[in-house]
Amino acid sequence: MKRPFITLQQAQGLAEKFPTPVHLYDEKGIREKARALNQAFSWNKGFKEYFAVKATPTPAILKIFQEEGCGVDCSSYVELLMSQKLGFAGHEIMFSSNNTPTEEYRLAAELGGIINLDAYEDLAFVKAALDGQLPQVMSCRYNPGGVFAMGTDIMDHPEESKFGMTKDQLIQAFKEMKDLGVQEFGIHSFLASNTVTNDYYPALAKQLFELAVEVVAETGVHLTFINLSGGVGVDYRPEQTPNDILAIGEGVRKVYEEILVPAGLGEVRLCTELGRFMTGPHGHILTEVIHRKDTYRTYVGVDACAVNLMRPAFYGAYHHITNLSNPEGNIETVDVVGSLCENNDKFAVNRELPEARIGDLLVIHDTGAHGFAMGYQYNAKLRSAEVLLQEDGSARLIRRAETPEDYLATVYGFDFEA
């Protein structure tokens, strides 16, 4: 059972003030999530979550994480700029990018961010980009190849992933980085995405901790942190059990004490770069039913479309839908569709939902991550607003909706008068 974080009455009030479709975020939920994560890893001195900005690149949301003691994980120039503007200090900025342009490395270094190298080959590139002056703290991203399995379940295929470097490359990179003056080292890896199990982080940690022991023995570097990255996921489907971050933290602690402590690495601090897990469940799209249509199927047309949330069209991803206006309506099987001239513009296919009448307000769940962030402007659709439901119950506009002027602002040779 998935419950919206707003009532019908709240939704009606919001829809009057902020035209639908609109992205809503629950401040209380986001803060509680950050606190639970920090609590789960409080046993590790120096633990830090670097929120993956790409999940929800909205300054007001980043500010909440900052207030909760989190840093940011950036992967592009503008994400770095935004983090700088928000006042994140260098050591609070992780720069985990790949296929990275020169100017992005330069900005990351200028801000004092921690550069996480994706490829062995990037070492020569970053050295040239920074005129031979490497930062004092750096890390490398590991890719073990093969498949990543937990028990008999294959979770992902690192061998097919473009990210990270082999063990031999990582060892070679560490040796060269040490010679180039790097003083503190980290190891990073991201082996499975959107996991809904409490065993992923502990299984990843085991691999990384064993690697760490080997790499330190081989290179003699001062390893100060291990970055478990993202990958703890969201229970998008109502039948899934949400991840229990306290159990996950405890699972990682056991492996830490089993492997790192006896090897004399009990000072290593852990980091995470969670994105989806932190904000996904704490966002809704509020949308109104504007049409119904019956042909070979029954279609419910809403005023949101795939530009507001690409995941269903892109990955066939499931997002739960609640009809706030008619929760007890007769169940019917419908496709819930947007207005794009694309047949994959469907938020739900053959979904059983209470009858959705024209004018009903629907909530699309778990849109806090990769919702607005993956938005685009196909069919000359405009991006919708983002609204933060604050802890005191008030609603704050944190990004206005786009206007036709915004859409045309970059066009030359066309005079547009609204």
Ligand X SMILES: *Cc1c(COP(=O)(O)O)cnc(C)c1O
**Residues near ligand X (CB under 6 A):** 52, 54-55, 73, 75, 96, 190, 193-194, 229-231, 273-277
Instruction: Report the chain's terminal Cα–Cα distance, integer Å.
Output: 45
Choose between 230 and 371: whose C-beta lies nearer to ligand X: 230
Query: Do the strands 331-337 and 298-302 form a parallel or antiparallel pair, or are they unpaired?
Result: parallel
**188: enclosing H helix or E strand:** strand 184-188
CB of 162 to ligand X, least distance (A): 11
List of E strands, 295-417: 298-302, 321-323, 331-337, 346-354, 361-364, 386-389, 395-399
CA distance 194 to 413: 45
Residue 345 to residue 342: CA distance in whole angstroms: 6
Do residues 229 and 273 make contact, with C-beta atoms less than 8 angstroms apart? yes
How would you classify the pairing of strands 283-294 and 22-26?
Answer: antiparallel
What residues pair up with 331 in beta bridges, in sequence order? Answer: 354
CB 287 within 8 A of CB 303: yes
Q: In one letter, which amino acid is 363?
A: V
Query: Looking at 140, 271, 305, 341, which residue is catalytic?
Result: 341
Of 161 and 172, which CB lies nearer to ligand X in the complex structure? 161
| Side-chain-facing half-sphere of 94: CA atoms under 13 Å | 33
Residue with smallest beta-carbon separation from ligand X: 230
Give the DSSP H/E element, type plus range, for residue 68.
none
341 a catalytic residue: yes
- CA–CA dist 65, 302 (Å, integer): 32
Considering the complex, what minimum distance in angstroms separates the CB of residue 374 from ligand X?
A: 12
Least distance between ligand X and beta carbon 296 (Å): 37
- Our CB check for ligand X shows the closer of 229 and 367 to be 229
CB-nearer residue toward ligand X: 120 or 277:
277
Residues in the chain: 418
Residue in the block written with tokens 């199990």: 197
Residue 370 beta carbon to ligand X: minimum distance, rounded to whole angstroms: 8
**Least separation in angstroms between CB 54 and ligand X:** 6
| Minimum CB distance to ligand X, residue 401 (Å) | 25
Closest to ligand X by CB, 50 vs 209, is 50
- Nearer to ligand X (CB atom), residue 274 or residue 302: 274
Pairwise CA distance, residues 29 & 236, whole Å: 16
Q: Which residues are catalytic?
A: 341
